[in-house]
Structure 1
Amino acid sequence: MRRTIDFGDWQRSPCGEEHRWFSVLLISDADFGIRVLKTAERSEVVHASMPGSRGQFILFCISSSTPYLALNSPLLEGPFYNADRGELRFVDIYAEKVFVLSVSKSPETLREFSTKDNTIGCAPTTALLTAAAAYSRRDVRRQNVGSTEDGMVLRLDPDGKLHRVVENVITPNGMGWNRANTVMFWAESRSGNVYAFDYDANTGDIRNQRVFFHLDGANNFNVPDGLVIDEEDNIWLALWGGSAVLRISLDGKVTGKIELPTRFVTCPVFVGTELFITTAAEVESEKYSESASYAGNIYRLDVGVKGLPKYKVPMPAC
């Protein structure tokens, strides 16, 4: 019989009043054994191991008053970690900026570049450096949250050819692949669905689209946004308007929930065992003043597991 474990007031007590808990929903068919693995000055990580399970369930607390990067940006999105350079890159869609940060050093290494000139560049390795589309603020909002079925999913092959693989969708969003590289997951915000496809790694073809996970969001709140997958095949899914990142197992069950102090969570990315999480501005700042005060920032949490490695794809020279 399935049972839900509610930590109640206990989950808040170890961190004290000055901290905010990023809590995890624990669901099990058996009792959990809980032990504290490490305690840091600003965070405490508790792993709860289920008998007979390969996975771990993680409970976090972290100071809500000190995000890793306090940028107060309109719409932070698209985080990407370049392990070779030790750099985290992300964008602000509305402000038309690309940010680059040397993670191994300090937040003070943050650099920003404007994309308002709609410039594309290539390095000697033919890696794409920056790209920006000439959208107005209104156009960008439509591209991000969607109002008509003109969205699509595209596949760019190493030979430079572009293919439409999914069409007639409103708000295409985060995607990722399982460890075996046989299943592609893709979030579509307006429908509230995370879809799964059979994936052919040799051709890049996808087929057999089905609903893998569904959220009953309303008016474009509490809906799927960006996602990333860890080396244990768990999906970490940001909730736009939901103040959270969900941890979802390959059988589609929620095994964890990281709660953030602001509502519009856009995308997580792995840097080692840490999740860096981008957020966006609060759209109802007067009604949700606390959410507004923590919005548009970068949050950083150690979740005790690494993300799947990224594949390096050779692209044609510019």
Structure 2
Amino acid sequence: MPDIKKYKIIEPYLDLHGRLLEAPFWEKDRNTFRFVDIVKRKLHLVDPTVGPSSHKEHDLDFSIGTTADIEGNDAEFIFGGKRGYGIMNRETGQSRWVKDMWDDEERKEDGGGKPGVGRTREARMRSNDGAVDAAGRYWVGTMNDPLVVEGNITDEGVLFRLDPDLSLHRMKASVTIPNGTSWTLDNKYMYFTDSPSGKIMKYPFDLSTGAVDWEKGTTFFKCTYEGGVPDGHAQDEEGCFWVALFGAGKVVRVNVEGEVVAEIELPTRCVSCPGFVGTELFITTAEEQNPEKYPWSVKYQGGLFKADVGVRGCPLNKFKMQAKA
């Protein structure tokens, strides 16, 4: 077993008391760091060179779970939102939908479907995590919206892929809480996390076609920390992963063999996703789900944290939009 380097964060960078902070993303060219609150339906922005005083937020009419930059478009970014993919203006927060995820049948009343609640499948689903591959395709996972299904989350989720021509593809069904999507540095394998499984899986990937061999998946990482499951992750330039362990109050660095080599301890339990700004790792969190059992976790719940980990993040791919939207 390798030696484990330890970090400890004692207070938040931004004490927001959010409900579910997610999707940390560094707009490197503009030096702006953005993230969202899925439940409160907010877009947050901060300039890391200025610090917390630069924090701004936009109120949204719908939830956003994931965002990505668009190649050749500095004014807007693309996102996975409540009902599909959309594009948002960076300055004004104005948005437009470009591709709905759900078809006409899924917009019909269905008696609540598998959860037994929610008028239609479209109404009870929302986007969660996502990432862009090296060919510029945007992968977004969807799940039951806890606010609609009253916490009764099932495997109705779907992993979608939006191609540059804006064609939509259903890549994996029967997903519960999709998270942590990324690729090996040589793009021969894809990593994907369905959080309740407690695992990050590794699958053969064909970059030229965007195909995934789901039948040949192997376990890359299994969470062994009590109460924790892998949530979002960020890849560094050495090919290692910084994995948020929701429910364990930690982010761990996992090497290419799947071994934990570093550990960041946070003062709140529900850690959702890390994202790099240079060598600093910014970390989003959510509200404590069991405050009576874990009172220590409540003070800084839903905050944004950061730690300098001495390694830079792997550059993020941009969506290569070819069609007009």
Fold-level similarity (TM above 0.5): yes
Give the aligned residue type for 1:155: R
Q: Among the aligned pairs, what percent are the same residue?
A: 37
Shift of 1:201: 2.0
Q: Distance in 2 between matches of 1:144 and 1:61?
A: 34
2:229 paired with 1:214:
no
Note if 1:59 corresponds to 2:6: yes
Q: Which structure 2 residues correspond to residues 167-182 of structure 1 after superposition, within 5 A? A: 167-182=173-188
Aligned match of 1:283: 289
2:45 is matched with: 100
Which residue number corresponds to residue 242 of structure 2?
236
**Cα distance in 2 for residues equivalent to 1:144 and 1:106:** 37
Q: Which has the higher contact order (CA 8 A, sep 6+)?
A: 2
Q: Secondary structure at the match of 2:296?
A: helix
What is aligned with 2:13?
68
Quick one: which amino acid aligns to residue 317 of structure 1?
A: K
Q: Distance in 2 between matches of 1:118 and 1:252?
A: 33
Deviation at 1:154?
1.2
**Stretches of structure 1 lacking an aligned partner (at least 5 in a row):** 3-26, 29-56
Which of the pair has more CA radius of gyration? 1
Picking from 257, 261, 266, the partner of 2:263 is 257
Contact 2:8-2:264 within 8 A present in 1 as well: no
Matched, 1:128 2:77: yes
Distance of aligned partners of 1:200 and 1:307 in 2 relative to their CA distance in 1, 3 Å threshold: same
Structure 2 counterpart of 1:317: 324
Deviations 1:174-195 (A, max 9, x none): 2112222222111111111101
Query: Following the alignment from structure 1 to structure 2, what is the Cα–Cα distance between the partners of residues 149 and 96?
Result: 24
CA 1:215–1:94: 2 relative to 1, 3 Å? same
Could you state the TM-score of these two structures normalised by the residue count of structure 1?
Answer: 0.74
Query: Corresponding residue for 1:47?
Result: none
Letter in 1 for 2:49: S
Query: Which sections of structure 2, spanning at least 5 residues, go unmatched?
Result: 84-122, 127-143
**How many residues are paired up?**
260
Contact 2:31 2:48 in 1 (8 A): yes
Structure 1 residue 216: Cα displacement:
5.2
Tell me if the contact between 1:145 and 1:171 (Cα under 8 Å) persists in the aligned partners.
no
CA distance in 2, matches of 1:132, 1:153: 13
SS in structure 2 at match of 1:245: strand
8 Å Cα contact 2:240/2:256 also seen in 1: yes
1:128 partner amino acid: F
Tell me how far apart the structure 1 counterparts of residues 256 and 238 of structure 2 sit (CA, whole Å).
9
Identify which of 24, 28, 31 aligns with 1:79: 24
Q: TM-score, normalised by structure 2?
A: 0.72
Distance 1:288 1:118, change over 3 A: closer
